[in-house]
Amino acid sequence: MSAAGKKRVQRIRDVVTRIPLGKVASYGMVADLAGYPRHARFVGRALGESSDGRCVPWHRVINAQGRIAFPRDSECFAEQSQRLSSEGVTVVTGRIDMTEFSWQPSLDEMLWGPDPVAF
């Protein structure tokens, strides 16, 4: 992967690591916040290619309709559903209520990162 490609992946990972416990964001929102509007599919590829998926909370990224993007009968679907449920996110037949669980970062949070007191 080129240096520019690695930089894009790192920016995606940086945004995803800011999604707080118990919240979700869509692939498109992550792309927008990383500075790559209209590149939602790239977010999925970047997370799929991440060599250290345990450090990035990939499970907090869902599609624009509030659904888990993996096929229902896949191991990834089950794992993402379980991880979200363990964080208090209600998952019903693969769907998450975006009005309740969508991450809405403040401008301060986007500029300076998460509030260290919150952790």
pLDDT band (50, 70, 90) for residue 119: very low
- The answer to whether position 119 is within a domain reads no
Res 53: pLDDT: 52
User: Is the residue at 62 inside a domain?
Assistant: yes
Distance CA 89, CA 107 (A): 24
SS3 68: coil
The whole domain housing 64 covers 3-113
| CATH number of residue 57's parent domain | 1.10.10.10
Please name every residue paired with 102 in a beta bridge, in sequence order, or none if there are none. 24
Average model confidence (pLDDT) across the chain: 89
On whether residue 83 sits in a domain, the answer given is yes
Token digits of residue 80? 């993402």
Domain total for the chain?
A: 1
In this prediction, residues 82-96 reach a mean pLDDT of 97
Return the pLDDT at 107. 81
Dist CA 51 CA 6 (whole Å): 12
Structural domain contains residue 118:
no
Angle formed at CA 50 by CA 47 and CA 54, multiple of 5 degrees: 90
Q: Region 44-64: what's the mean pLDDT?
A: 84
pLDDT at 54: 58
Q: How far apart are CA 43 and CA 36, in angstroms?
A: 9
> What confidence category does residue 93 fall into, taking pLDDT thresholds of 50, 70 and 90?
very high
Who has greater pLDDT, 117 or 44?
A: 44
